[in-house]
Chain A
Amino acid sequence: MADVDITSQTMDGMGPHGTKVGLLRVLGPAHVWALGVGIVLVGEYMGWNFAVGKGGAYAALIACWFAGILYSCVAMIDSEVTSTVASAGGQYTQAKHIIGPLMAFNVGLYLVFAYTMLEAANAITAGYLFYVVAQMTGHAGDLDQRPFIILVIMFLAWLNYRGVLATLTFNLVITAIAFIAIIVLFLSTSGILGGGIMEHAALFEGHELPYGWIGVLAAMHFGLWYYLGIEGTTQAAEEVRSPARALPFGTLAGIMTLLIAATLTWYVCSGVLPWEFLGDGVNGSVAPLFDTARLSGSTALVWLLGFGTLFATLASANGCINDASRAWFAMGRDKYLPGWFGAVHPKYRTPYRAIVFLVPIALIFALGAPLDQVITFSILSGLLGYTFMPLNIILFRRKWPLETIKRGYEHPFHPIPAITLLTLCAVTFFAVFLGYGTQLVAMIGFYIVVSLWFHFWRYRFVNRGAQFTMPWPKPRGY
C-alpha cells in the first residue's frame, strides 16, 4: 500500500497546498484529448513537410515514426508524473517539485516559448490560407495577410480570457472536424472510395533518399512537428475534474490519434505532391493537405481541407494560448516572474493577465519572422523540454518510489522509455545542428543568461518552502 494515494476521492484534484481553490475544475478526458490533439493536429496541416525538404519523402516517414517513438515516451512519462500533479503549469510544476526551482523556471520558459511560437506559426498559416482563398476566388492583387494574423491571435486570446470550458469545447469541435477531414481525404484519394490518385512509386523515382542517410537524420528536426505540443495536456491539470484519471487517458488517446493522423498525412501528401515542392514550406507547399486536395480535382475536398486547415490552425493557436498562459501564470503565482501575472480573473476564473501579456509577444513573432524560423524556435524550446523529461522521471522514481505515492498511471518498462527519449533527443539536437546550429547556440545562450539572472536576482523574491505545494511525502535522500 502506498503512503499517499493520489487517485483517492479526497486527494484526486487537490490543488496547491491541499486546497480546492484555484482555477475552475470543469474539464473531462475529452477536453484533455482536444487540448493535446488540437494543439498538434496543425502539425499535419503544415510544417511537417519541411522534413521532406531536409531528406526526401522516405526520410520524412522514418522521422515521422522515430519522432512517434519519442513522443510515445513523452506521453508515457508525462502521464505518470502529471497524474500526481493536479496543478497548473504542467512540466513546470513537475520540475519545481522534482528537480528544483531553476530547472522549473527554465521548463516554464520552454513551455511558454514553444507554445507562443507555435501560436505565431498558426497565425501565419491562417493568414496564408486567407491569401490563397482570396486568389482562388478571383481577388486581384496581393492580399495583405497581416490583418488576418492579428485578428486570429486577438480573437482566440479573447476566447481564452472569457473561460476555459468554452475555449476547449470550441477546440473539441474544430479538432474533430480537422481530424475527420484528413480521414476523408485519405479515403477519397487512396482508392478506397472511388478512384485513387496516389503515385508514390513514380513520384519517388530517382529521389528516394536525395541526401542519403544524413538526410534522414536531418529530417528528425522537423519530424518533431508531427507531434509537438501533445505534452500540453498537462497544463489542464488544475482545470480537470479528475486529474489522476483524465490526464493519462486524454494524453495517451491523443498520441495514438496523432500517430494515425501523421502516417496518413505523409501517405496522402507524398503520393500526390512532388517532394521538392512538398518539402519547401515557404516557397512551395505551405499547407500540404490543402495542396493535395487542390490536385484531387474535387471542389468538395478543396473546401473540406481548406476549412480543415483553418480549423486546425485555430484549434492549435487556441490551445497554445491556453497552455502558454497557464505556464506564465503558474510562474507568476510562485513569484518566479512578477507576482502580478499570478492573478485569476474574479468572474471567469482564468489567468487573464498572462493571456493578455502574451498577445503582443506572439504578434511580434507572427508578423516579424519567417515561418521556418518561428517553427524552429518552437521546436528548440520543445526539444529542451523533452530532454528534461527523462531526468525528471528518473529522479521522480528515485525520490518517490512506487510504494510512496500511488499514481493514476504507472508507465511500463522504466527506465527504457527514459533512455530511449534521451537518445532520440540527442539525435534531434544533431539534426537541428545540421541546419540551424547558430539558432541552437543562440537559444541555449539565452537560457544560460536567463538562468543566471534567475538564480542571482529573481529567486530572492520567491518563498522557499511555499513552492512545494503538492501533498507528497518528503523525498527520499533529503
Chain B
Amino acid sequence: MAHYQPPKQGKASQLIDVVVLVILTVGALFVPLWLGMAGAAKTVAAPVTEATWEALGQNAAQAAKYEALGYTPESAHDLILARFDYSFSVTALLTMIAVILLYYFLILRFSEVEYREVISEKFGE
C-alpha cells in the first residue's frame, strides 16, 4: 500500500479544531442543564401538613439522628419525603437502546476501515 502522507495543519485550523471540541463538550453537559432536562429531580408526592417525626415515618432512633444533625421535623420534611419517580416509557427505553447500538455500530465499522489501512501500511499487504 502506498504510504499516506497527511497534510500539514496550519495553526488557525488547529485552533478551530480545539474550539469546536470545547464547544461540543460544554454543550453536551450544559444544554440539557439549561433546558431543565438533566437529572431526576425528587418530588414530595404527599406532603405532611403538621410535621412530626412520627408523621414523617421516623422511629425514635432515626429521629434522634436527625436531631443530632440539627434538623427539626419541619426542616427535614422535604429531605425525608422526597422520592424519585422511576416510571418510564418503553418507547424511551427502546430509543435509548437503539441510540447506544447505533453509536457502537458506527464506531466499530469506521474503526475497522481505518484499522485495515493502519495494518496494511505498518506490516505491508
Q: Which of A's residues lie within 8 Å of B, judged by CB?
A: 53-54, 99-104, 106, 113, 199, 202-203, 205-207, 210-211, 214-215, 218, 272-274, 276-277, 280, 283-284, 291, 294-295, 335, 337-340, 357, 361, 364-365, 368-370, 372-373, 376-377, 387, 391, 429-430, 433-451, 453, 455, 458-465, 467-468, 474-475, 478
Instruction: Pick the most buried of B7, B76, B83, B122: most chain A CB atoms within 10 A of its CB.
Output: B122
Q: Which residues of A contact B48 (CB under 8 A)?
A: none
Q: Is B96 in contact with A361, judged by CB distance below 8 angstroms? A: no
Q: Is A277 in contact with B69, judged by CB distance below 8 angstroms? A: yes
Quote the shortest CB–CB distance from B70 to chain A (angstroms). Answer: 10
Q: Is A474 in contact with B123, judged by CB distance below 8 angstroms? A: yes
Q: Tell me which residues from 10 to 29 in chain B have a Cβ below 8 Å from any Cβ of chain A.
A: 14-15, 17-18, 20-22, 24-29
> How many angstroms from the CA of A464 to the CA of B93 in the assembled complex?
39
Q: Is B114 in contact with A459, judged by CB distance below 8 angstroms? A: yes
Q: Is B26 in contact with A276, judged by CB distance below 8 angstroms? A: no
Q: Is B30 in contact with A369, judged by CB distance below 8 angstroms? A: yes
Quote the shortest CB–CB distance from A106 to chain B (angstroms). Answer: 6
Quote the shortest CB–CB distance from A275 to chain B (angstroms). Answer: 9
The answer to whether A448 and B29 touch (CB under 8 A), given A100-B111, A435-B39, A463-B6, is: no
Q: Is B65 in contact with A274, judged by CB distance below 8 angstroms? A: yes
Q: Is B118 in contact with A465, judged by CB distance below 8 angstroms? A: yes
Q: Is B24 in contact with A450, judged by CB distance below 8 angstroms? A: yes
Q: Is A100 in contact with B115, judged by CB distance below 8 angstroms? A: yes
Q: Is B38 in contact with A101, judged by CB distance below 8 angstroms? A: no
Quote the shortest CB–CB distance from B45 to chain A (angstroms). Answer: 13
The answer to whether A101 and B79 touch (CB under 8 A), given A274-B58, A463-B6, is: no
Q: Which residues of B contact A436 (CB under 8 A)?
A: 38-40
Quote the shortest CB–CB distance from B61 to chain A (angstroms). Answer: 4
Q: Is B39 in contact with A439, judged by CB distance below 8 angstroms? A: yes
Q: Is A478 in contact with B119, judged by CB distance below 8 angstroms? A: yes
Q: Which residue of B lies closest to A433 (CB)?
A: B96
Q: Is A448 in contact with B20, judged by CB distance below 8 angstroms? A: no
18 A-B pairs whose Cβ atoms sit less than 8 Å apart in the complex: A99-B115, A103-B107, A206-B57, A277-B65, A337-B18, A339-B14, A365-B29, A435-B84, A437-B92, A439-B38, A442-B29, A445-B99, A446-B27, A451-B106, A451-B107, A458-B17, A465-B121, A478-B116
The answer to whether A376 and B39 touch (CB under 8 A), given A102-B110, A283-B79, is: yes
16 new A-B contacts, CB < 8 A, other than A446-B28, A463-B6, are A101-B111, A102-B114, A205-B61, A284-B79, A295-B65, A339-B9, A357-B18, A364-B26, A439-B39, A446-B25, A448-B106, A453-B20, A459-B114, A464-B3, A464-B4, A478-B120
Q: Is B32 in contact with A439, judged by CB distance below 8 angstroms? A: yes
> How many angstroms from the CA of A201 to the CA of B39 in the assembled complex?
31
Q: Which residues of A contact B24 (CB under 8 A)?
A: 446, 449-450, 453
- For B71-100 the 0/1 string (1 means CB < 8 A from A) is 100001011101110101000110110011
Q: Which residue of B lies closest to A206 (CB)?
A: B57
Q: Which residues of A contact B14 (CB under 8 A)?
A: 338-340
Q: Is B51 an interface residue (CB 8 A)?
A: no
Q: Is B61 in contact with A369, judged by CB distance below 8 angstroms? A: no
> How many angstroms from the CA of A449 to the CA of B21 in the assembled complex?
10
> How many angstroms from the CA of A449 to the CA of B102 in the assembled complex?
12
Quote the shortest CB–CB distance from A396 to chain B (angstroms). Answer: 13
Q: Is B103 in contact with A468, judged by CB distance below 8 angstroms? A: no
Instruction: Pick the most buried of B15, B22, B32, B114: most chain A CB atoms within 10 A of its CB.
Output: B114
Partner of A377, one of B15, B29, B65: B29
